[in-house]
Structure formats: C-alpha cells, structure tokens
Amino acid sequence: MARHKTSASGDGAATQGDRQARRLAAQLPESGFAVRPLPVVLLVFFLCLAAVTVVLLDSREGREVPQAFIESQQQIAAGTARAIGATASQALSDLRTVAAPGASAGTEPMLDALMRNKKWRGVSVLAAQSRTLVATRGEPVPVQAVPKDVTAPTAASTVAANGELVLVAVSPLPEGQLLAATTTIRLPDADPDPALRQSLLLTTLTGKVLAASGPLAQGRDAGTEALVASAGKAAAGGEPRPVLGTAGDEVQPTLTYARVTPSSSPESLDLAVVAVSDGPLAGTDSAGSGVVPGAVLVVLALLGFFCVRRYMTQPVVAVRADLLRVAAGRLDAEIRASRAAEVARIAAAGEVCQERLNGDDVGRERKIGRISARVVCLVVALSMFAWSAWMLVAFRTSQVEIPAAVVASTRVQTGKATEALRRSVNDGLADLEALAAGTKAAGDAEAVTRTLRASLRELLASQTRYRSLYLVDRGGAATGDVIGRPPLRTSESPARDSGVRQQNQSGRVPVIFAEVPLALDGVTLIGEYDLDHLRVLLSQVPGHARVVDSGFRTISATDGFVAFEQVGEESLRRSAEAAKNGGAVAEVHQGSKEPAIVASAAVLGGSVGRLGWTVTTEKPGSELALPQNQTRRHAQLLALIAALATLFGYGWILFTVLGPLRRVARAADGLVAGDLKSVIYPQRHDEIGTIASCLEICRQAVVQGPDRLGDVRRPSGSATEPTMLMEPVAAPAPRRRSPARAGRRS
C-alpha cells in the first residue's frame, strides 16, 4: 500500500509516478486517428490548397487563342472531312447498288445507268487480275489508282492531268471483274468573314496540299506551308491538337485538322482536311487575383488550427496526462484547469475523485470553462464554408465578353452541320431512287421483289440514316416483311412522284420518310428516317441545337425535347426567320441572365428543302471555353474541394472526437454530483477512451478503495451490449441400469 501514500515528495516520487502513469497508459490501447494528427493534416492540406489557389487563379500566361474558338474550328474541319467522306460513301453505295446480283441485265446497261448520274466523270469495267479494260463510258478511269486485291467496295484518290482531285470508287463484280468510277472531290468554299480569314485545304497524310479554298488558295509562304504540312501529318495520328503559328498583335494563325474517313472504307483515303484561320487573342485581367483568396485561406487555416489546438487538442492531451497520473496512484498530482467546457467538466470529476481518496472536502466550487470545443470547431468549419461561398460569388461571370471570331466560327459550324443534315436526307432519297431504277428493266415481279429486298437489307446494314425500309401498295399498306424496326408511318396512299415527306404535324414522334414509286404495278418503296441519326448530325453544332419547321415546331433536338413543341424564345424565332433568306446567321443575344450565341441556318436544296426546316442553336456565354469561364471553373473547383475537406475533416472531429468527449463529460458530471455507481465505459481506443478509462479507475478506487489505482480493471464489452443471464446447469442424474443388463454384466 506504500505506493498510494500521498506524503511522498521530490523528484524521485514524481519520476516514479510518471513511470507508473506510462505503464498504465501502455495498458490502455490507443488506435484512433483523431485528436492530435488530424488537425495537423487539415492545416497542411489547406495551406497546399491556398498555394494551388494562387496558381490557378493567377493568369500570367498572357493572351492566347480561346479554347472555344479552337473547338469550333476543330468541328469545322471534322465536318468538312465528314462531308467529303460522305461523298465517297455515297459513291460506294451507288456502285454497290448497281453491282448487286440481279440489279442490271448486263455490263452495258449497268454503265449506262451510272452515267445517267451527272456526278460521274467516267465508269469502267476492268479485269480484276490484269486490269485490262472490258467496257467504259465517259473519261478514262486511271487504272494506276485502282487499289490492289479489291474484295469489297473501296475508294482511293488521285490527281487528274488538269490538277483536279479525283475520287476513284471500286466495287468487285462477279466473274473476276471490277467496276470502277471516278468523280471530282470538291472542297467546300471557305467562309469569307474577315473576322476569321478562314481557308480550307485538302492534303495528303504526308502534308502535301492537293486543293485549297479561301485566301491561302492564292498562295502560301514557307512558314504557312510548314504549318500545313505539320497539320496534315498530325491528322494521320488522329490526335485533334491545334497547330498554332506566330502570334501577332491581335490574332494568331490557328490550324485544325481531321482525316477523311468514309464510313464504308475508313482507311482507304489518304486525305486530311486542314482549316486555317486567324484566332483572336484573348485574356483576362485576373493577374494576381488568386493572391487575396489564397491569403485569406492561409489566415483561416492557421486561425482554425490554433483554435482547435487551444480548445481541443491541448486540453484533451493535458487532462489525459493528469488523469493518468491520478489513476496510477499519484493522488497529489495537479489536475490543470482547462479552457474548454467539456474538458473542464472532466477535470472537475478527476479533482472530486482525488479529494475523496485524500479525504479532503469535496464541496468547494470549481471553475468550469465557458467555451465549448464543439462550438469552436463549428465556427472554424463555418468560416471555411464561408470562404467557399465567397469564392463562388466573387468569381461569378454575369457578363462574358464573347469575341467576334468565336461568333463567326459558331455561325460557320452551324452552317456546316445544316449542310450535313441536308446532304444525308437527300442522299437517303438518292439511294432509294437508285434501287428503284434497277427495277425498270426487270420482267419477273417476284424475282425483282426478292432481289430488291436483299438490296434493302444490305442498304440498312450499311447506312444508319434509316430506321426501316419496306414496300407499300396503292393504299399505303406494307406488303411483305418490314426490314428494320416497325414502321411509324400510318397507312395512306403514297404520292405519285418520289420525294421526302413529313407525315404528321402533331403526335409523339415526327414521321419523316422518303418514298419512291417502282416500275412494279402500284408498289412504292418507303424508307423511314431515324431521328437519332438526325440528332447525331445536330450534335456537330455547339450548344442546344434543334430542327424546327416553318411553324417553329420542334422536329428534332440534341437534348431532350417534346415533339412539335413550339419554340417560344423570341431570339430563336428572329434568328430562324433571318436564316430563311439564305445563309447561316449568328449574333450575341443579351438575355436576362447572361449573353448567349444564337445561330440559325435554313435547310435549303433538294427534296428536303421543301419541308421548310431550319436548324437553330443557342450556346450560353458561360458554357464557352473562354479565359473568364476557365477562371470561374477553377474557382468553383477550389471552393468545392475546400468545402468537401471541411465537411469530412471537421465532421470527423465533431462526430468521432467531440461526440465521445461530451459523453465522457456527462459521465463526469455524474461523478461530481455524487453518482458513484454508474460505470464509465470507454467507447473508443484513442485519447478520449483513455480519459474514460482513467475516470473509471478513479471511480472504482473511490468505491472499493485505493487498491484499484494503478491497474486496469474495467468491464469488457461496451455499454450498449445487453447483459446475458445464464441459468445454472444442474448435474445430470445417474442413469438406472435394468436388472437384465446388470445380471449380464455381473
């Protein structure tokens, strides 16, 4: 019992008491990551976030071409490449149609049918092995450009004697022959807008220029030739990275590129489209704008760390050390007062136990801290949330300055997408007309129908524009099997001439189809267009794009839409009306919240032009990849990271440290009030658990005597586990043996 005497003094007694406290602490396991390490981790994290804030929000790179302009030019180059690829795909589809078994009565009628289409310069039938000429029409086909080992329809390009770029389409025929046809590859005219000074060039994948339109068609200097060659070579790799020239005062030459890839023969053409334009140099006045937010975050992080350290970490560590000495048997050890209210209540309970064990008066008044550690942590967390909210407000961009070149580029992009839509719908009608032309020379209707259905299956497999293909009678009812999905078109008498129709002006889904009368008695070929295909074509336009008819009813859109919904925005209606006069239009509309680019282009030309469609698009200024928006997005990202770090970091402290600390403080209040029967259970293996264990040891010592000090005698389990009462097991009664068995055993 000598170890519990309180009269011992001096350094020797203190050293022995400290050793007993360390031995007792070793018996109390601690595995929590809460009280001491986490505030330091949060401090380091927020200091690093402050440094990132200064870097991200400080635009010192100078003026550069906005990413919005580069993306728009990339779409223009890709759209032009898709248009040329669509020409090649359509040429291969035409050859595939006339070369199908049973489509024509012989070689001569097949060539005559092809030459009736004015787009072909010349057509020939060649021997597959020797490349000798069997039959020809029009201009001679360059045999040297015909690929080797042609087993499927393929395309190639070559330069004619007059310098024009020629597409050579080849399709295999039965009996070891090849059908070859040539057509001119025409590069679309570049937009003449002086804000762009745009040029379109068609190059090989080695960088050699084959055709050009725009200012560079008149001539190019050595520097421009090198840039174009670099872009053409980069197209072979497929990485859409811009090639930038030497920047001037206000503009910088910007080159984007895309490889020409026909859908039916992706690797056959050695061509690339290069778009060259003057990119506007833009920047922001945000140089040094990240210094103030970063400095504020540093101040808040340091203040938060010192407040948490002063009102949570240091008091908890101090009271743990004091209670360990008391629980180890040093009843003369000082229990220091605390600034935190919860820790002060625990220290008061330790003093009560210490006084009871020493036999002193326990009725004196004790000073309790008035500042709650939970309130301090909440205030620190709220200050961090306030910084995040301030970042969102300070860097919002209500007014975005949109460069004129970005508006012009969006207008060109809208026009290219509209042209792709017009071409796709008209080409769909041309496919059906080509199939219908093959039935005119046929005699047996059953054989013609069988051959036609086989061609329709192949057409549906090779073209994504159709949702279904089928034949109808005079009344409009489908005859035979429908190739594709079930028809949406209702039965009605077909027209006498071919064309693209829109059957309904209301309903759930717009029904758009092409119809072509056949040479058969009263039979019409119907091809319904897939709205998803139209939506993919519209996706080339920036922003929310839609197709509207003459009554401003929605036919298709890139985002979710209601069929035939009226377009009520005055800016869109005004833009669509202006586009009907011809040519794409675009302007910056100053809306109630923010400016936006509104562009429109009418679908003109061919059978689809009679439907009165117009493509309209709206792109909010805040969604453009401009320097102002980039700074705003960085600020939003930093605010989100700070808010999440605060939520998880200080939320962890509140729920895993301060919550158990308050429960131990309530148990300590019971000790102060005289409740010596309630067991204090440690709920966590950390500093708070050690404090609870020390209070429990002191409580046991007060109840059962000082012998309890220095050793860990605590109930196993937790306070929430139910108590299991086990009934005593009685000894089994001895078994009685039967007389017969007893006699045998004896």
Q: Is 6 inside any structural domain?
A: no
What pLDDT sits at residue 188? 85
Please state which of the ranges 68-77, 205-214, 353-362, 506-515 shows the lowest mean pLDDT.
353-362
The pLDDT of residue 745 is 47
Least confident among 455-459, 652-656, 685-689:
685-689
Domain total for the chain? 4
With 60 as the cut, is the pLDDT of residue 717 above it?
no
**DSSP string for residues in 292-321:** HHHHHHHHHHHHHHHHHIIIIIHHHHHHHH
Q: What is the CATH number of the domain that holds 578?
A: 3.30.450.20
User: Which pTM value belongs to this model?
Assistant: 0.72
Q: Is 315 a residue whose pLDDT tops 70? A: yes
Q: Using CA atoms, how far apart are residues 276 and 298, in angstroms rounded to an integer?
A: 46
pLDDT digits (tens, 9 = 90+) for 113-163: 788 777 888 899 888 888 888 888 888 888 888 888 888 888 888 888 788
pLDDT band at 554 (very low <50, low <70, confident <90, very high): very high
Same domain, 430 and 480: yes
What is the per-residue pLDDT for 12?
Answer: 55
Which three-class secondary structure state does DSSP give residue 471?
strand
What is the Cβ-side half-sphere exposure of residue 618, based on CA atoms within 13 angstroms?
19
Mean pLDDT of 488-501: 89
Do 180 and 329 lie in a common domain?
no
- Residue 164 and residue 252 in one domain: yes
Final residue belonging to a domain, choices 488, 518, 533: 533
pLDDT at residue 377, rounded to an integer = 92
Query: Quick one: pLDDT band at residue 485, thresholds 50, 70, 90?
Result: very high
* pLDDT score of 694 more than 80: yes
- How far is it, in rounded angstroms, from Cα 663 to Cα 650? 18
**What is the phi-psi region of residue 149: left when phi exceeds 0, alpha when psi lies from -120 to 50, beta otherwise?**
left
Q: Are strands 478-484 and 243-244 parallel, antiparallel or unpaired?
A: unpaired
Token pair of 247, please? 């920047």
Does 527 share its domain with 558? no
| Same domain as 234, residue 113 | yes
Does 5 have pLDDT greater than 50? no
445 and 351 in a common domain: no
Determine the pLDDT at residue 646.
Answer: 95
Residue 441 has pLDDT above 60, yes or no: no
Could you say which DSSP state residue 3 is in?
G
Residue 406 lies in a domain: no
Q: Are residues 363 and 435 in the same domain?
A: no
pLDDT at residue 545 tops 70: yes
Q: Higher confidence at residue 431 or residue 35? A: 431
Q: Looking at residue 746, what is its pLDDT?
A: 40
Please list, in sequence order, all residues whose beta carbon lies within 8 angstroms of the beta carbon of residue 311, skipping any fewer than 6 positions away. Answer: 339, 340, 371, 373, 376
Residues 248 and 328 in one domain: no
223 assigned to some structural domain: yes
Residue 479 has pLDDT above 60, yes or no: yes
pLDDT level of residue 732 (50, 70, 90 thresholds): low
- pLDDT on residue 725: 53
pLDDT score, position 742: 46
* Residues 334 and 453 occupy one common structural domain: no
Residue with tokens 């229990």: 335
d(CA 65, CA 63): 7
Q: Would residue 742 count as lying in a domain? A: no
- What pLDDT does residue 190 have? 86
Contacts 24+ apart (CB under 8 A), 128-134: 128/172, 128/176, 128/177, 128/178, 129/176, 134/107, 134/177
The mean per-residue pLDDT over the stretch 205-220 comes to: 87
Say if residue 303 is in the same domain as residue 387: yes
- Is 275 a domain residue? yes
More confident of the two residues 242 and 17 = 242
Measured N-to-C along each axis, helices 11-27 and 314-327 cross at an angle, to the nearest 10 degrees, of 100
- Rounded Cα–Cα distance for residues 204 and 134 (Å): 31
DSSP single-letter state for residue 250? S
The answer on 222 and 119 residing in a single domain is: yes
Per-residue confidence (pLDDT) for residue 15, from 0 to 100? 64
In a domain, 89, yes or no: yes
Q: Mean pLDDT for the chain?
A: 83
Of these ranges, 57-66, 290-299, 682-691, the one predicted with the greatest mean pLDDT is 290-299
Q: What is the DSSP letter of 600?
A: E
pLDDT of residue 1: 35
pLDDT at 6: 40
Residues in CB range of 456: below 8 A, 6 or more apart: 435, 469, 483
Does 7 fall in a domain? no
Question: Does residue 203 or residue 6 have the better pLDDT?
Answer: 203
Q: Are residues 187 and 68 in the same domain?
A: yes
Distance CA(700)–CA(694), nearest Å, equals: 10
pLDDT band at 730 (very low <50, low <70, confident <90, very high): low
722 found inside a domain:
no
Instruction: Please tell me the distance from the alpha carbon of residue 353 to that of residue 671, in angstroms, as a whole number.
Output: 8
To the nearest 10 degrees (0 to 180), the angle between helices 37-56 and 627-653 is: 170
**pLDDT bucket at 2, cuts 50 / 70 / 90:** very low
The residue segments making up the domain with residue 271 are: 63-282
* 618-662 confidence digits (pLDDT tens): 998 888 888 888 888 899 999 999 999 999 999 888 888 888 889
pLDDT, residue 284, reads: 62
Lowest-pLDDT range of 330-344, 467-481, 699-713 = 699-713
Residue 715 has pLDDT above 70, yes or no: no
Write out the two tokens for 38. Answer: 């986490």
Q: Which of 88-97, 200-209, 310-319, 461-470 is least confident?
A: 88-97
Is residue 616 pLDDT above 70, yes or no? yes
Least confident of 281-285, 357-361, 468-472, 483-487: 281-285
Q: What is the pLDDT of residues 236-255, one digit of tens each?
A: 877 778 888 888 878 889 99
Of 292-296, 315-319, 538-542, where does the model show the most confidence?
292-296
